[in-house]
Amino acid sequence: MAQLQRVGSGGQRKEIILYAALDLFTSKGFFSTSVHDIGRHAEVSIGSIYHHFKNKEAIAKALYDLLLGEMGQQMNEIKRAHKSVHDRCRVIISTLFDLTESSPETMGFILHARHREFLPLEQPICSSRPFELMMKMVEEGIENGEIIKLDPVVVATSIFGGPLRMIHLMLDGVIEGPLSERFEDVWQCAWEGVSL
């Protein structure tokens, strides 16, 4: 994040604005963040912001696309690197845990930004590429007999629901200690429920 602010060309003002917005959106919330706030935090004038983005909503949208795109890429890599559905899901969850700890703002924004409230036109996150990828994996696992033969939606929620809830608790400050400590147990419970 910080390393994006290298001076020089001044070409990446857009990124600076974006990451300032991310900070504020996740700490104060979208509606309690004014464009003036973003300008101050990014040390950029309002005029500049409106030069790069049509309006406040467009900032959120750009952020959303950026973050979800990155996540999608990561999941593709995971898919390439691992063959069994077991390993893929396991690594995905582990990666999500890591992301939550290394960049809670990112995770928070993606997860409970309440997209539908300030991105009304946006499909819910579940129609996004990462979500589709997860579903695809689960379906594969059902076909090849690795996973219990049930409605894929049920299976997917069973595998990822527990870990995601854990992440929520973490972001809300309900849990202390590092997530990674609990990873093995969480994964155990999640997988036990759907494996054959």
Contacts with DNA, residue ranges (CB under 7 A):
10, 13, 32-36, 44-48, 50-52, 55-57
Nearest approach, Cβ of residue 148 and DNA (Å): 48
Does residue 134 touch a copy of itself according to CB under 8 A? Answer: no
Distance of alpha carbon 69 from alpha carbon 110, whole angstroms: 11
CB-nearer residue toward a copy of itself: 16 or 137: 137
Q: Whose structure tokens read 């063959």?
A: 83
CB-nearer residue toward DNA: 21 or 137: 21
Q: Burial letters for 121-133: b for 16+ Cβ neighbours within 10 Å, e otherwise? A: ebeebeebebbeb
Does residue 178 touch a copy of itself according to CB under 8 A? Answer: no
CB-nearer residue toward a copy of itself: 62 or 134: 134
Q: Which does 33 bind (CB under 5 to 8 A by kind): a copy of itself, DNA, none?
A: DNA
Nearest approach, Cβ of residue 97 and a copy of itself (Å): 12
- The helix, strand and coil proportions of the chain, stated in percent and rounded to the nearest 5, come to 75, 0, 25
Does residue 36 touch a copy of itself according to CB under 8 A? Answer: no
- Which tokens belong to 139? 């379906």
DSSP state of 3: G
| Closest of 62, 11, 18 to residue 39, by C-alpha | 18
Burial tier of 79 (Cβ tally within 10 Å: 0-12, 13-18, 19+): middle
Nearest approach, Cβ of residue 178 and a copy of itself (Å): 13
Stretch binding a copy of itself (CB under 8 A), from 36-44, 46-54, 60-68, 121-129 = 121-129
Q: Which does 4 bind (CB under 5 to 8 A by kind): a copy of itself, DNA, none?
A: none
